[in-house]
Structures are given as C-alpha cells and as structure tokens.
C-alpha cells in the first residue's frame, strides 16, 4: 500500500549522487495548521517531496516559508496545541508517520529518524552532563548497558572529531563552544544509525569557518553511513556547497524543486532567482557564508493575509494580472526540474 | 565553585556584621529616653535606678565604645539579660527556637508538596481548565491574610469540630498553624513553579530531548524538572525566610510557644535586649539558610559548579 | 510578607516589560503620558486585571462615600445590641460593644487606602531614588548602595517592620511607616535593574552628549522611562502593604482600638469569635478582597507588559 503511494510520487526522476537509491522518506501533500488569535493559518500547505538514501536534500526559504514546520511535522514535534497536522501523509519505513501514536513515533525518533537544530547552545540541557545526554538515547533505542552506551558515545564523539572524548563526556554544555556543541548534537543524532537526518539550520548560529567544518562533517557522515540528510537552510551558499537536490519553499508551499546544478544554472521561479541574486558569486570559496536574502524587496506575506493567485506576486517583478488572479501549478519545466510560475520561460539565468 | 561559595560566605558575614551594627544602635533610634520607656510600666523606679541601668547597658559611652562592648559580649555568646525578670536572652531564645523551627519546617513541607505538585501540573496542562482553576485558587491563596486563615481554621477545626486542641504545645497543636502557614505559601510556590516550568517547557533542549525519542516521563522528569529545579530551589530558600516571618504572626494566633510570640511580647514590654537578641538570631538563621541554599544551588547548576 | 517573591518576578520581567523609549524631542511629559497609557491599556487587556481594576475602583468609591454608605458612625457603641448576628438592620452583625460591623468595615476602607498610599509612597519614593542613583552613578556609589539594599533585602519584611515598630512604638501611622520602610529594597532593586537597561539606550547617550546635568539625566531622562515596571511593583506593593499593616494591627502593633482598621477589628474580636464568628469573617473578607484586587491588577499589568508571558 505504501509502496504504491510512493510510486505515485516519483513522477519526476531526479538525478542525484545515488541515482537508483531507494526512497526512504516520502512526504505527500502535507498540511500543518496553527491556531492563532487571527484564526487558523496553514503554515505548510500541500508540500510533497521524497528523499532517497544517501542524498542531501536542501529545503530553502526565508523565515516564515514553512520549512522548519515541515521538518517538525515529519518528526511529530509540532507543539499541539496550537499546531496540528491537518492533512497529508509522511511515509517512512513502510508506515505513515502521521498515523502513528506518540509512543510508536518515540521508537523512530532519535533512532532511524533523527534531527539537529539551529541553536546548539540552547539545544542541550545545561544541567545534565554531555555523557548523560549522549547515552540516554543510545540506551533507549539500542538497549545497551550504561557502560556499553558510554563506549558507543565515545566512539561517536571520535567520529565527529571531538578531542579527548572520555574526558569531555563528564563535562557540561557551557564548557563547550558552539561548534563543538553542534558536533555533539550531530553525534547524538547519528548514534543510533538513522536512515534520515533532518538538520534545521545547523550552521546558522555558528561562525563562518565553523559552518564549513560542520557541513563537511555532515557530508562525511552521509558518505560513511548512507543516511539521507534533509538540510533546512535559508542560505543558498550552503545549498551550493552541500546539497544534491533543492526544494524552494515560499509562504508554506513548495514552488521549485530540482537538482542543485539545474536550479542554480537555470532557476524557473523568480523567487529562486532572487535568492540566487543575493549570492556573491557562485562556486567560490566564499560562497558558504552568511549571505542575507536581502535583494528581494518586501517580506514574506503573513499567512493570515496572503494575496490571491501566486503568493509571490506582490514581490515579483515579473508578476502580471494572471499571477495575481490564478495560482500557478507545479509543472515539470525540464526533466527533473519543477516549478510553479506562469513566467518560467521569461526568466534569465543568473550569470 | 570555591570562589562562588567564598563570595557568598563573605556576603553572609557582611550581612551579619551590618546587622550587629544596626541592632546595637537600635536603642538609640527610639524617640525619647529608651530607659525611661523601658521602665515606664514598672512603678516606683527611682532616677538612680534608671541611671544604673543606663550604666549597665553602657548607654553613656560613646557609640563606638558601645558597639565594641556589644560585639565583645555577643562574641562570647552573651546577648544580655531581659529587662523583665533579668533572664539571659540567649537561653530564652534557644529554649523557644525549636518550636518556631518545627512550625516553619512543617509549614515548608506542606507548602512545597502542595505548591510544587500543583505548579508542575498547571504548567504541564497549561491553558486547560485544571490550570485555570489551580491558578485561581493560588491567587486567592496569595491574597489570604494568614492570621485570618488561622482564625478560621481555629474556629472550624478546633472550636466547632474539636479535631484539634485550641491551645497547647504538643504535636497535635502544630497541625493547624503549620497548615495555615503552609497553605498560603503553597500558593506562592505554585505560581512560581508554574511560571518557571513553563519557561523550561519552551526551551530548545526539551525539543531536543523529544527529538531523541525519549519517553515522555524521561523528558518531563529527567530533563524539564531537573532544569526547572534550579530556580525553584532558590525560591524555596526564600520561602523558608518567609515562613520564619509568617511564623511570628501565626504563633500569636495559635498561642504556639515560639520565639515570634515572645518577640511580640517583648515589643509590648519594650524589652530592648530581648528584641535585639531576637533580631540578631533571626538574621543569623536567615543568612544561614540562604547560604545553605547557595550551596545546593551550586550543586544543582553545573554552570556554577565549574 | 509575600511580596518579595512576586517582586522578584517583576524584577525578572522588568527588562521585558520595557516600553520603547521615544526620542526626547517630544518632551518628557509625552514619554510619561505614553507610558501611563501603555500601562492602562495593558491593565484592561486581561480579564483578571479588569476585575481587579473594578474592585480597586469600588474600594475608592466606598472610602470616599463611607459616611453616605455606612448606616452608623464607625465607633458608635450601642448602635444595636451587642453581638447580634447579621440581619436586615445590621448586615454584618454587631460586635461586643454593639457597634455595627458593616459600618466599621466601610470606614475601614479609608484606613486601608491610607495604608496603601503612605506605605507604598514611602517605599516607592525612597526605593526608586536609591535604585536610580545606584544605576546611574555606578562605581562605589552603586556597590555600596546595592550591597546595603541586598542586606536589608535578605531579611523578611516582617522582621524589618517589627523592628521599626519596636523602635517607633505601636500605632497605625508607625505601622504604615514600618511597612513602607521594609519594602524599600524591592523597589530599589527594580528601579536599579531597569535603570541599568535604560542607561545603555541611545536616547540616554544623546542626552549625555548634549551636556545634560546629573539631575536632569536622572529625573528627566531616566525616570519617565522606568515607570511601567515600577507601576507593576507598586500595584503589587499595595497588596503586600495592606496585608502587612493588617498583620501588624492584628498583633496589636498597628491601629489601636477603637479604630475600625480591619486587622485591629480582627484582633479585638478574637475573644468573641467562638460566640460570634461574623466578627472575624467580614473584616477578613474585606482584607482579602482588597489584596486580591491589587494582586489581579498588578499581575494583569505585568503579564500584558511582558512579551514572554503572552500565551
């Protein structure tokens, strides 16, 4: 049953480094609502995509685009209330995660499906030792004894290049730097051999040089374990450096998807073009940086007050009356490259 | 951590030192002649006798000399003698102190159990009818004068129902005052526990703990409660000092034979040596308790420990 | 007595409850008025606060029109037979001297307002100046002042109030002073912590560079901007002051008979309350309602001003 559903989804074969790899995660028409004072808003609106073993899929967008909510929805970590998964399916390991009980999800979270977050400094409990925080998940999921779990944790810390791991296990989060803490977070996330790692802006809070190291580490671990990585970011530089495939989100919707090379070479949505315009120059060492997405005029409209038609129309220099009246559908613009724009053909490629 | 504790200890000593200065000078702040006021109630004291008392208390010396003399006596454990009955102040205080400590301790226990549990539940069920009703009860509790609550409990449980004796100093007499003092303070603890736990529940590390797939109980108790404990312990230390303050009032409602009741009598009788002794002792207790809390705090919070 | 913890919370949220400073070009009264407006609109934003506001208003009305509302003068003995239970003529019953308890409770509202105003006035004035000066001056002034505040802070208000009454002697005025003095450290701490935040804002630097003098910097530039958190503390402070003063009167250290002060009424009625429980019920309920009103109002304002607590 789930296989059928996944096959339905693979409408567009996409070239990745693991071309024929198995699909490990398939998101189908996911909708997540939040109750606010102004009424219910749809933070994620009908998003579908799939993730193949060993690939790094980047999800890009400004804040408010729904990329983080998408990842939290997959993990079943949406705070409820005010949040609620209003529709869609998330297939993982042959089951629909949205149908699982919290207890069933618990078994998957942190073991075959794990996640790291934006702020390593606040993502670890300040009053518990690193050792305790590393081993509790291992013991929970792998059923190891305290001693085995400790040795496994040391091994994981070595793998993320933390010096003197036996010693550092006894220390507390405030004794680590941000970069080291993000390494710890990655070690925790990878310690139970996940099939999918969701990384929500893992480098945003870190210094530029540390950012590059962390991204490199994630790539290494991907190569070593074959885990798929879903990388949430607002930074096109990070996408270019790290990802195989990219999904661009805007105001809760997916608006473009394709291989990184394809999308960067010839974006098919003006928003993506705008994001790329914010980059200094592609392919250079400095591309992984703290580039701001400041070249697109205006901000993402509030979800309570979306324009009719294309949601990007009020910020788009290509917008016509049609854009303001009719929502463009997601269409295959080139093989493996889809976008939702009425004016895809008019876009010029970035230099 | 050593530096932190050293700092706290020095601050504690400083507090006590300033208290001794204030206490020794207290008598000079009294408008009019303190000795005359002290003896106003006993008839037939001659001016010569008053002068002798003045000499004995050293009130004719320069202030600095008075302070040095006072400190000299205090350091030897001599807090002077009471005006009425000429009994040693320290002995009197130490005789009654266990009663007050028992009352404050029992009240603290009640306050913590009720306050922590209901505050935690309210935070966890934030926004539910349970939260609303617990917090409504709590704000009523915070607004309740404890001497009045004491009178009402006394009326219902001692006078009407006769479950407890009206007065006396047995363990059965401890129940009502301890409940009186405990319940009003439980309301404060509940409110603070709730807000502190809500802060913790919103923290990133709780999300991390959930993302690790830990069972709910482990997230709640292993992570949230453990982190929330740090501010809560500080607050409980503060609560104990209130309990001591509240005990003064509650002892008077129930006729519980503690230092507070004695202090009020001393104020009525203008028995300044006893009042001075009481304040000094109270300060020492408060300072000791908060120092103890600092130690526990340091032990709970690794950011201070290392 | 319970003020300290609540105030600690107020201190904690003081930085959060800050209202954006306006450029000084619009004048200090504008800043002040705008801050007051913020506070009042905050106070009506919340259901509990609305109830509190209404109760406080009712208290003021009752106090002003006490002679019109009360059927008897407060200390008219033999207004009825003694120890009458509540009935149509004596709504709250009569006390041991045959005084009408309802009338006494109504007149007591006047004393309660006095207590609130005077005690909070003392602690607010001295505390604010202490905190402002310490926060503004820095250096040794700051260290000595705040160290002293910490020392006083580490005692309970009850003890400080007792010591003050022990020195001054029992009377309602002395109790008000004692309660006011005892609460100074809280106000000082709040004023201090907000001043530290304000001192680092651009408008302060601008005024400093423009050559404003010390007094002008403190009172014209800093003071209007630290008003909102102080209003929270002062509102909650009224309830603590009323509670503490009633406690002192109950112990016999505050208002003396035949004053219709509520704590003193409870104290005087103690000998009769097994016979006539109404003697102790109504004054106690009155204290509780007033304390509750200011607690609700203060909590409401704080919550509305503190962006973190909006949920």
Of B26, B198, B266, the CB nearest to C167: B26
Q: Which residue has the tokens 């006590």?
A: B16
Strand partners, A87: A31
Asked if residue A156 and residue A199 are part of one domain, the reply reads no
A101 and A220, same domain (yes or no): yes
A112 touches chain B (CB under 8 A): no
Do the interacting molecules here have an ipTM over 0.90?
A: no
Assigned domain for A90 exists: yes
* pLDDT at A5 (0 to 100): 41
Which residues of chain C lie closer than 8 angstroms to B31, CB-CB? 168-169
Task: Please check whether residue A181 touches B, CB under 8 A.
Answer: no
The reply to whether A118 falls in a domain is no
Among A143, A170, A191, the domain boundary falls at: A191
Determine the pLDDT at residue C126: 95
Those chains having 3 or more beta-carbon pairs within 8 angstroms of chain A are B
The answer to whether residues A184 and A328 belong to one domain is no
User: Distance (Å) from the C-alpha of residue B22 to the closest C-alpha of chain C?
Assistant: 10
So what's the pLDDT on residue C26? 53
Q: Do A32 and A150 have their domain in common?
A: no
Return the percent helix, strand and coil in chain B, to nearest 5: 80, 0, 20
- For chain B, list the domains and their CATH numbers: 16-75 (no CATH), 98-269 (1.10.3720.10)
**Given a cut of 80, is residue B268 above it in pLDDT?**
yes
Same domain, A150 and A233: no
Residue B243, min C-alpha distance to chain A (Å): 29
Which of B127, B204, B214 is the closest to A117 by Cβ? B204
Tally Cβ neighbours within 10 Å of residue B284: 14
- Whether residues B14 and C296 touch (CB distance < 8 A) is answered with no
Lowest mean pLDDT among A205-214, B189-198, C41-50, C150-159: C41-50
Inter-chain CB proximity B303 and A174 less than 8 Å: yes
**pLDDT tens digits, A216-270:** 888 888 888 888 999 999 888 888 888 999 999 998 889 899 998 888 888 888 8
Domain housing A179: 124-191
Chain A hits for B300, CB-CB cut-off 8 Å, are: 127
Q: Are residues A184 and A228 in the same domain?
A: no
Per the CB < 8 A criterion, the answer to whether B82 and B271 are in contact is: yes
Task: Report yes or no: A99 and A273 within 8 Å, Cβ to Cβ.
Answer: no
Q: Determine the distance in angstroms separating the CA of B203 from the nearest CA of chain C, rounded to an integer.
A: 12
Assess whether A38 and A172 both reside in one domain. no
Q: Answer yes or no: do A199 and A251 share one domain.
A: yes
pLDDT band at residue A281 under the 50/70/90 scheme: very low
Q: Do B212 and A137 touch (CB under 8 A)?
A: yes
Question: Between residues 233 and 292 of chain C, which touch chain B (CB distance below 8 Å)?
Answer: 239, 243, 246-247, 250-253, 263, 266, 270, 273-274, 277, 280-281, 284, 287-288, 291-292
| Residue B203 tokens, joined | 């923290």
The minimal CB distance from C247 to the residues B145, B152, B195 is found for B145
Cβ–Cβ of B275/C251 closer than 8 Å? no
Task: Test A141 with B209 for CB contact under 8 angstroms.
Answer: no
- Check residues A81 and B51 and name the one with the higher pLDDT: B51
pLDDT at B41: 64
- A124: tokens are 């670890």
Mean of the per-residue pLDDT values of chain B: 87
Long-range CB pairs of B60-66, under 8 A, 24+ apart, other chains included: B63/B25, B63/B28, B66/B24
Query: Which own/partner pairs from C200-207 qualify as long-range (CB within 8 Å, at least 24 positions apart)?
Result: C201/C21, C201/C225, C203/C21, C203/C22, C203/C23, C203/C24, C206/C24, C207/C24
Mean pLDDT in residue range A141-146:
88
Contact B211 A136 (CB under 8 A): no
Closest Cβ opposite residue C5 in set B235, B267, B279: B235
Within 10 angstroms of residue C286's Cβ, the number of other Cβ atoms is: 22
Please report residues of C whose CB lies closer than 8 A to that of B144: 288, 291
Last residue of a domain, which of A158, A174, A191?
A191
The answer to the question of residue A251 being in a domain is: yes
At A345 the pLDDT is: 78
Query: Hey, is the C-beta of A125 within 8 angstroms of any chain B C-beta?
Result: yes
Residues 94-113 on C with a CB inside 8 Å of B are none
Burial class (CB in 10 A: 0-12, 13-18, 19+), C231: buried
- Structural domain tally of chain A? 2
Whether A233 maps to a domain, the answer reads: yes
User: So what's the pLDDT on residue B187?
Assistant: 93
Please tell me the distance from the alpha carbon of residue B276 to that of residue C212, in angstroms, as a whole number.
47
**CATH superfamily, region C50-309:** MetI-like (1.10.3720.10)
Which has the minimum average pLDDT: A221-230, B56-65, C99-108, C135-144?
B56-65
Whether A219 and A143 map to the same domain: the answer is: no
Q: Where in chain C is the domain with CATH 1.10.3720.10?
A: 50-309
CB-based contact, A101 to chain B, within 8 Å:
no
Could you give the CA distance from residue A191 to residue B232 in angstroms, rounded to a whole number? 34
Does residue A247 lie within any of the structural domains?
A: yes
Q: Which residues of A165-201 are buried (b: 16+ CB within 10 A; e: fewer)?
A: beebbeebbeebebbbbbbbbbbbbbbbebbbbbbbb
Residue A128 and residue B223: Cβ atoms within 8 Å?
A: yes
The pLDDT, as a whole number, for residue A325 is 85
Same-domain status, A297 and A166: no
Q: Are residues A36 and A179 in the same domain?
A: no
Sign of CA dihedral C121, C124, C127, C133: negative
Distance between CA B238 and CA C257 in Å, rounded?
A: 34
Give the model's confidence band at C115: pLDDT under 50 very low, under 70 low, under 90 confident, else very high.
very high
The CA distance from B277 to B267, in Å, is 12
Between CA B27 and CA B59 the distance in angstroms is: 9
- Subunits touching B (CB < 8 Å, at least 3 pairs)? A, C
Residue pLDDT, tens place only, B19-75: 899 888 888 888 777 777 777 766 667 778 788 777 777 777 788 888 888 888 888
b/e burial code for range B107-133 (CB count within 10 A of at least 16 → b)? bbebbbebbbebbbbbbbebeeeebee
Residue B147 is nearest to which of C155, C250, C292, comparing CB atoms?
A: C250
Residue of B nearest to A76 (CA): B211
In a domain, A147, yes or no: yes
Q: Calculate how close chain B gets to A79, using CA atoms only, in Å.
A: 10
Sign of CA dihedral C190, C192, C195, C199: negative
Query: Cα(B136)–Cα(B128) distance, rounded to whole angstroms?
Result: 12
What residues of A are in contact with residue B212 (Cβ under 8 Å)?
Answer: 109-110, 114, 136-137, 140, 188
> B with C: how many residue pairs have Cβ under 8 Å apart?
142
Residue of higher predicted confidence among A3 and C289: C289
Q: Which residues 61-80 in chain C show a CB within 8 A of chain B?
A: none
C81 touching chain B per CB within 8 A: no
Q: Which residue of B15, B195, B245 is in closest CB contact with C9?
A: B195
Identify whether A119 is part of a domain: no
B203 shares contact with chain A (CB less than 8 Å) = yes
B153-209 per-position pLDDT tens digit: 988 888 888 888 777 777 788 899 999 999 989 999 999 999 899 989 988 999 999
Chain B residues whose beta carbon lies within 8 Å of the beta carbon of residue C170: 267-268
Calpha distance C66→C25 (Å, rounded) = 45
Do residue A323 and residue A341 come from a single domain? yes
CA–CA distance, A320 with A310 (Å, rounded to integer): 10
Does residue A102 form part of some domain?
yes
Residue C4 has pLDDT above 80, yes or no: no
Of the candidates A156, A191, A226, which is a domain's last residue? A191
Find the closest chain A residue to B228 by CA distance: A127
Do A127 and B127 count as a contact with CB atoms less than 8 A apart? no
Which residues in chain B touch residue C13, judged by CB atoms under 8 angstroms apart? none
Adjacency order of strands within the sheet including A196-200: A113-116, A196-200, A228-233, A56-60, A245-250, A253-259, A337-339, A331-334
| CA separation for the pair C261, C245 (Å, rounded) | 10
């Amino acid at each position: 049953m789930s296989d059928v559903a996944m096959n339905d989804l693979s409408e567009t074969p996409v070239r990745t480094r693991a071309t024929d790899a198995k699909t490990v995660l398939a998101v189908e028409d996911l909708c997540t609502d939040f109750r606010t004072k102004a009424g219910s808003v749809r933070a994620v609106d009908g998003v579908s995509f799939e993730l193949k073993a060993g690939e790094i899929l980047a999800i890009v967008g400004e804040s408010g685009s729904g990329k983080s909510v998408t990842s939290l929805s997959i993990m079943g970590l949406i705070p409820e209330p005010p949040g609620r998964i209003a529709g869609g399916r998330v297939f993982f390991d042959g089951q629909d995660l949205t149908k699982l009980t919290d207890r069933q999800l618990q078994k998957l979270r942190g073991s075959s499906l794990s996640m790291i977050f934006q702020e390593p400094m606040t993502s670890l409990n300040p009053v518990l030792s690193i050792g305790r925080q590393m081993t509790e998940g291992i013991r929970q999921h792998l059923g190891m004894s305290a001693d085995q779990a400790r040795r496994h944790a040391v091994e994981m810390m070595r793998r993320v290049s933390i010096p003197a791991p036996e010693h550092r296990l006894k220390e507390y989060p405030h004794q680590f730097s941000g970069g080291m803490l993000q390494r710890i977070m990655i070690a925790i996330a990878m310690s139970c051999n996940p099939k999918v790692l969701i990384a929500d802006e893992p480098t945003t809070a870190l210094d530029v040089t540390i950012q590059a190291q962390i991204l490199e580490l994630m790539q290494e671990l991907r190569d070593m374990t074959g885990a798929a990585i879903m990388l949430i970011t607002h930074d096109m530089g990070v996408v270019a450096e790290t990802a195989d495939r990219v999904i661009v989100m805007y105001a809760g919707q997916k608006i473009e998807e394709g291989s990184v090379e394809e999308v960067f070479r010839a974006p098919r949505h003006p928003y993506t073009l705008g994001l790329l315009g914010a980059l200094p120059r592609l392919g250079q060492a400095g591309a992984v940086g703290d580039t701001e997405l400041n070249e697109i005029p205006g901000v993402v409209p509030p979800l309570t007050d979306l324009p009719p038609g294309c949601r990007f129309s009020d910020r788009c220099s290509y917008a016509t009356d049609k854009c303001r009246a009719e929502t463009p559908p997601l269409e295959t613009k080139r093989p493996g490259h889809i976008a939702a724009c009425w004016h895809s053909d008019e876009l010029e490629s970035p230099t | 951590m050593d530096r932190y504790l050293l700092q706290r200890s020095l601050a504690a000593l400083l507090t006590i030192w300033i208290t001794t200065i204030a206490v020794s000078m207290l008598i000079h702040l009294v408008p009019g002649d303190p000795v005359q006021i002290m003896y106003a109630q006993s008839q037939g004291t001659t001016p010569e006798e008053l002068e002798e008392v003045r000499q004995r208390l050293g009130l004719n010396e320069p202030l600095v000399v008075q302070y040095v003399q006072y400190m000299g006596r205090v350091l030897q454990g001599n807090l002077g003698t009471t005006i009425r009955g000429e009994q040693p102040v320290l002995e009197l205080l130490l005789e009654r102190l266990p009663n007050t400590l028992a009352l404050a301790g029992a009240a603290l226990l009640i306050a913590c159990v009720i306050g922590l549990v209901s505050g935690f539940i309210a935070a966890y069920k934030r926004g539910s009818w349970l939260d609303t009703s617990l917090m409504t009860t709590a704000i009523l509790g915070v607004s309740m004068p404890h001497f009045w609550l004491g009178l009402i409990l006394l009326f219902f449980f001692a006078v009407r129902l006769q479950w407890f004796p009206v007065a006396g100093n047995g363990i059965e007499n401890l129940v009502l005052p301890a409940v009186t003092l405990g319940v009003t303070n439980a309301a404060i603890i509940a409110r603070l526990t709730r807000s502190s736990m809500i802060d913790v529940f919103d923290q990133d590390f709780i999300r991390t703990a959930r993302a690790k797939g830990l069972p709910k109980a482990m997230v709640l108790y292993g992570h949230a409660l453990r982190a929330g404990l740090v501010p809560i312990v500080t607050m409980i230390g503060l609560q104990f000092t209130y309990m001591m303050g509240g005990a003064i009032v509650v002892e008077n409602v129930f006729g519980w034979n503690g230092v507070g009741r004695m202090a009020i009598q001393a104020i009525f009788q203008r028995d300044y040596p006893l009042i001075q002794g009481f304040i000094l002792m109270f300060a020492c207790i408060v300072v000791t308790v908060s120092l103890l809390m600092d130690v526990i705090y340091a032990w709970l919070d690794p950011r201070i420990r290392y | 007595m319970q003020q300290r913890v609540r105030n600690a919370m107020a201190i904690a949220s003081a930085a959060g409850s800050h209202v954006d400073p306006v450029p000084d070009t619009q004048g200090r009264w504008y800043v002040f008025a705008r801050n007051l407006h913020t506070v009042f609109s905050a106070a009506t934003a919340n259901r509990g606060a609305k109830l509190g506001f209404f109760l406080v208003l009712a208290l003021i009305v009752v106090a002003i029109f006490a002679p019109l509302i009360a059927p008897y003068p407060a200390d008219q003995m033999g207004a009825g037979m003694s120890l009458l239970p509540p009935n149509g003529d004596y709504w709250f019953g009569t006390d041991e001297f045959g005084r009408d308890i309802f009338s006494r409770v109504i007149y007591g509202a006047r004393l309660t307002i006095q207590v609130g105003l005077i005690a909070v006035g003392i602690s607010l004035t001295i505390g604010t100046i202490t905190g402002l000066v310490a926060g503004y001056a820095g250096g040794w002034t700051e260290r000595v002042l705040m160290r002293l505040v910490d020392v006083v802070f580490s005692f309970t208000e009850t003890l400080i109030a007792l010591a003050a009454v022990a020195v001054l002697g029992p009377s309602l005025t002395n109790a008000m002073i004692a309660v006011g003095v005892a609460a100074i450290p809280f106000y000082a701490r709040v004023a201090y912590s907000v001043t530290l935040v304000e001192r680092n804002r651009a408008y302060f630097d601008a005024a400093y560079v423009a050559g404003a003098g010390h007094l002008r910097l403190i009172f014209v530039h800093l003071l209007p901007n630290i008003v909102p958190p102080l209003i929270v503390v002062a509102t909650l402070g009224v309830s603590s002051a009323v509670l503490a003063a009633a406690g002192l009167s109950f112990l016999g250290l505050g208002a003396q008979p035949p004053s219709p002060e509520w704590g003193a009424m409870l104290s005087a009625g103690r000998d009769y309350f097994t016979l006539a429980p109404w003697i102790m019920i109504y004054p106690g309920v009155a204290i509780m309602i007033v304390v509750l009103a200011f607690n609700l109002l203060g909590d409401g304002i704080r919550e509305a001003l503190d962006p973190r607590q909006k949920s």
